[in-house]
């Protein structure tokens, strides 16, 4: 498959990287906040780069550069499917998980993580989050269909109460949909994501796009009613993971 060959080229260009088909770490506990913070970069391609050039250029140059960041423990790159996500403001999402907040803060202070490149605009939208597993990810599903949903809470809602309800009520309801092979919440660290309009984002995986489409048809009415009542705003991105690497440590 094309994305698999892309991933092998990236790994070959960055010494010490370990490529896995699925999570190469201790099994995550459902409902527990991960101690490893995540920095997510929502990327927009430069005007001179078409979508194919953006993805190829990011994998060839940006991924190896970011993979050398001290304290980085995993790197995921999601290419936005423009055909399934029309009018999206983003062309890709890079997710960088760090060993701890100390190494994350050092990386943020260095100013290199958000730098633009030949294929991306400078200053991508970035947020720092903590991850909560609602449904453990089947590693094989990372090559399939994925949805990223940025969300914000209604005005006047307490942030922590919103997170608790998202994890304990809304999340488990969504996790019951047919065909889902992984579901995680990413809760925004407000102190490290100043000015963000979003309170977090959800990641959902399916084995393939036909399974995703069948799941959406079965759930559409319930999903829309639930989203409208629980979130003040949300932005959905349908993506394909083109890179998933884990680093020692």
Residue pLDDT, tens place only, 64-81: 999 999 999 999 999 999
Residue 88 lies in a domain: yes
What is the pLDDT at residue 226? 55
Q: Is residue 16 part of a domain?
A: no
Say whether pLDDT at 20 is over 80. Answer: no
* Residue 175 forms part of a structural domain: yes
23 part of a folded domain: no
Residues 9-24, mean pLDDT to the nearest whole number: 36
- Domain membership flag for residue 131: yes
Give yes or no for a contact between 13 and 60, defined as CB atoms under 8 angstroms apart.
yes
CB 159 within 8 A of CB 199: yes
Let me know if residue 148 belongs to a domain.
yes
More confident residue, 121 or 225: 121
Share of the chain above pLDDT 90, in %: 66
Classify residue 121: in a domain, yes or no.
Answer: yes
Domain containing 74 equals 2-10+30-246
Tabulate helix, strand, coil % of the chain (nearest 5).
35, 30, 35
Of 9 and 107, which is predicted with more confidence? Answer: 107
> Does some domain include residue 170?
yes
The pLDDT value recorded for residue 228 is 58
Q: How many domains does the chain have?
A: 1
CATH of the domain at 152: 3.30.70.100
Those residues whose C-beta lies under 8 Å from the C-beta of residue 36, and which sit 6 or more positions away, are 73, 97, 98, 99, 100, 131
DSSP summary character for residue 32: P
Local confidence band at 36 (pLDDT 50, 70, 90 cut-offs): very high
Residue 211 has pLDDT above 90, yes or no: yes
Give the pair of three-digit tokens for residue 151: 């969300």
- Dmax over CA atoms of the chain, in Å, equals 49
Mean residue pLDDT across the chain: 85
Q: Which of 26-30, 69-73, 143-147 has the highest mean pLDDT?
A: 69-73
Beta bridge mates, 236:
149
| Mean pLDDT lowest among 88-102, 139-153, 200-214 | 139-153
């Amino acid at each position: 498959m094309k994305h698999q060959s892309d991933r092998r080229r990236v790994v070959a260009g960055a010494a010490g990287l370990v490529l896995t088909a699925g999570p190469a770490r201790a099994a995550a506990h459902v409902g527990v906040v991960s101690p490893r913070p995540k920095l997510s970069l929502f990327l927009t391609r430069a005007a001179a780069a078409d979508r194919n050039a953006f993805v190829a250029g990011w994998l060839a140059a940006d991924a190896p550069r970011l993979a050398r960041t001290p304290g980085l423990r995993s790197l995921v790159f999601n290419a936005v499917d423009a055909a399934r996500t029309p009018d999206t403001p983003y062309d890709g999402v890079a997710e960088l998980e760090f060993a701890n907040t100390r190494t994350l803060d050092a990386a943020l202070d260095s100013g290199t993580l958000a730098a633009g490149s030949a294929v991306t605009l400078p200053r991508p939208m970035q947020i720092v989050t903590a991850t909560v597993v609602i449904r453990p990810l089947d590693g094989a599903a990372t090559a399939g269909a994925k949805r990223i949903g940025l969300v914000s809470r209604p005005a006047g809602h307490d942030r922590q109460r919103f997170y608790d309800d998202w994890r304990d009520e809304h999340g488990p309801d969504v996790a019951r949909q047919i065909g889902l092979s992984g579901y995680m919440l990413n809760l925004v660290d407000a102190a490290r994501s100043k000015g963000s309009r979003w309170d977090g984002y959800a990641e959902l995986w399916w084995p393939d796009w036909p399974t995703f489409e069948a799941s959406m048809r079965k759930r559409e009415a319930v999903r829309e009613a639930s989203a409208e009542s629980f979130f003040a705003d949300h932005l959905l991105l349908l993506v394909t993971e083109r890179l998933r690497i884990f680093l020692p440590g």
